[in-house]
Amino acid sequence: MSGGQSLRCLVGASMVALAAAKFSSSVVASRGWNAWTHPGRWLERVMRDKPDGYIINFGAHLNLNAPRTMYFDPVSVWQRKKTARGLAVDADDDMKWTGPGVARRTTFIEPAGVAALLNETRTPPKPRLLKVDIDSFDAVVVIAVLEVRSPDFVYVEINERAPPPTCYCNDRTSPRSWRRLANDAYGCSLQGYVNALAPRGYALVGVAFNNALFVRRDLAVEVAQDIGGRLPTAAEAFAAGYAKRPDRDAVFPWNVKKKIFYDDQLPLDVRLDAMEHYPSFALSVDANQATFVREADDSFPCRSAVPETHSPHHELFRSLADGTTNHSRQYVAAVHDVLYGKGPAADQRAKARDRRGKGANAGAVV
């Protein structure tokens, strides 16, 4: 992970939450994955044909005491091997755990300095894998690498709170001025990555919870044949790898109420309104660090594909966001109560909104 003391505090808090969830490999269901998307096995499949392939690992911090490491950071575990080749970069880890064939740099990753870094470490023109997980302006870094190198595969952490067709992406920032303004105000959504990588010659292979794998197009046919004949759309991949996973809530207990963003039992315009006013997203957009587009076309930076239409809940969600300022958890809980009709808070807010003359019914969506 990149960042200073504040980010380390966030990471520490996340690890406490993970421990509290008592994560183990048994939590992850074995069904529903293929060889390219299983969180604990995808890297073996990527490296099977090139076991000595070169790996670029941006965001290489490794905590072997974390129970989820093999599922959510197998790349760093792989680079511990004596036979591993590659580059490991992180701002907060000296990475002395790497094998002798892995160059390591403890530094902030700056997009403008990526080419020089790769040249200085003698990174080959076509590495086997690029992995980026720096919890900030990740997509900008991926693009900077693809301008000077052509990895066979790209593996990125996605911001799973914004499902397709929504694009949320920290896509315009400088590394020294960028700040993580809220827990979920980082990275890029799946739609953002699909849009960014497609014109650069990469196709989506699949989603593994909050990570996505892409393949260079000259290798895409072989991969597609391995998973049923074709590669998935962004919506299909997100549903199979995250939204419809039976183990989703067990693996991501802190996201349970955030199903307001991707529960397809809710009308799309309601979900889009809920995301648009989500304080974590709004803060970074207002700070000119990120783009948020409700229904994106295929461009990058993302642009709207259709004129905006709003649900009857739009103004209510806006008022809930204003009332919680940047407290995203409170906003999510309030919207969840409104949409699913759970708890007295829903009735109280409905009555308050009626008194304000907002108009539309704030009860459960059907």
Say what the pLDDT of residue 6 is: 42
Q: In the structure, what pLDDT confidence band is assigned to residue 276 with cuts at 50, 70 and 90?
A: very high
Residues with Cβ within 8 Å of residue 39, at least 6 apart in sequence: 28, 33, 71, 72, 74, 208, 209, 211
Domain boundaries, the chain: 5-247, 253-355
Angstrom distance (rounded) from CA 123 to CA 172 = 26
Q: What dotted CATH number matches 5-247?
A: 3.40.50
pLDDT value at position 312? 94
Query: Which two structure tokens, joined as six digits, stand for 53?
Result: 């392939």
pLDDT for 141-198, tens place per residue?
A: 999 999 999 999 999 999 999 999 999 999 986 656 778 888 899 999 999 999 999 9
User: Residue 131: which of 55, 72, 187, 195 has the closest Cα?
Assistant: 55
Compute the radius of gyration of the chain from its Cα atoms.
21
Q: Is the pLDDT assigned to residue 23 strictly greater than 50?
A: no
For residue 355, pLDDT over 70 is answered with no
**Cα dist from 269 to 131, 147, 152, 257, 314, whole Å:** 34, 37, 37, 18, 9
Report which listed range, 11-25, 69-83, 107-121, is most confident. 107-121
Is residue 56 within 8 A of residue 118, CB to CB? The reply is: yes
Instruction: Give every CB contact of residue 307 below 8 A, 6+ residues apart in sequence.
Output: none
Of the given ranges (27-31, 61-65, 193-197, 276-280), which has the lowest mean pLDDT? 27-31
Rounded mean pLDDT, 92-104: 96
Mean of pLDDT values over 191-210: 97
Residue 65: what pLDDT? 79
pLDDT in tens, 319-349: 999 865 558 889 999 999 999 986 444 444 4
Residue 7 is predicted with a pLDDT of 40
More confident residue, 188 or 1: 188
Find tokens 């303004």 and name the residue.
181
CA dist 168 and 294 (Å) reads 9
* Type of residue numbered 255: N
Question: What does the pLDDT read at residue 298?
Answer: 96
